[in-house]
Amino acid sequence: DIQMTQSPSSVSASVGDRVTITCRASQGIASWLAWYQQKPGKAPKFLIYAASSLQSGVPSRFSGSESGTDFTLTISSLQPEDFATYYCQQANSLPRTFGQGTKVEIK
């Protein structure tokens, strides 16, 4: 199985801050990576696919990048509605696996 390791597990930030979350794959997955946002009591929301492509309707303050087996989700200017938990998911091979999540909290 491909293990996905996210860091940090939580981050405290203020509105307007730039936030960066990292996801490392245990082996090469090319660009087969997605990011999801989950708010308490809600289903995950699909944000980014193919490491850096924004899903339709997702604000442009969200962006994704990759470097080898390291992937990054960046929120350029944190908004109140962005406080949530973020998960990465590798889409390269079965079984499909997720990172353990990064909680973005209000400072």
Partner 1 sequence: QVQLQESGPGLVKPSGTLSLTCAVSGGSISSDNWWSWVRQPPGKGLEWIGEIYHSGSTNYNPSLKSRVTISVDKSKNQFSLKLSSVTAADTAVYYCARILSNYFDYWGQGTLVSVSS
| Residues making contact with partner 1 (CB under 8 A) | 1, 32, 34, 36, 42-46, 49, 55, 87, 89, 91-92, 94-101
Q: Which is nearer to partner 1, 5 or 20 (CB)?
A: 5
Residues with Cβ within 8 Å of residue 45, at least 6 apart in sequence: 36, 37, 38, 39
Do the beta carbons of residue 104 and residue 38 sit within 8 Å? no
Q: Which is nearer to partner 1, 1 or 105 (CB)?
A: 1
Q: C-beta of 96: minimal distance to partner 1 in Å?
A: 4
Q: C-beta of 43: minimal distance to partner 1 in Å?
A: 4
Q: C-beta of 97: minimal distance to partner 1 in Å?
A: 7
Q: C-beta of 103: minimal distance to partner 1 in Å?
A: 11
Pairing label, strands 45-49, 53-54:
antiparallel
Instruction: Report which residue type is found at 26.
Output: S
Q: Which is nearer to partner 1, 69 or 97 (CB)?
A: 97
Do the beta carbons of residue 38 and residue 87 sit within 8 Å? yes
Q: Which is nearer to partner 1, 17 or 55 (CB)?
A: 55
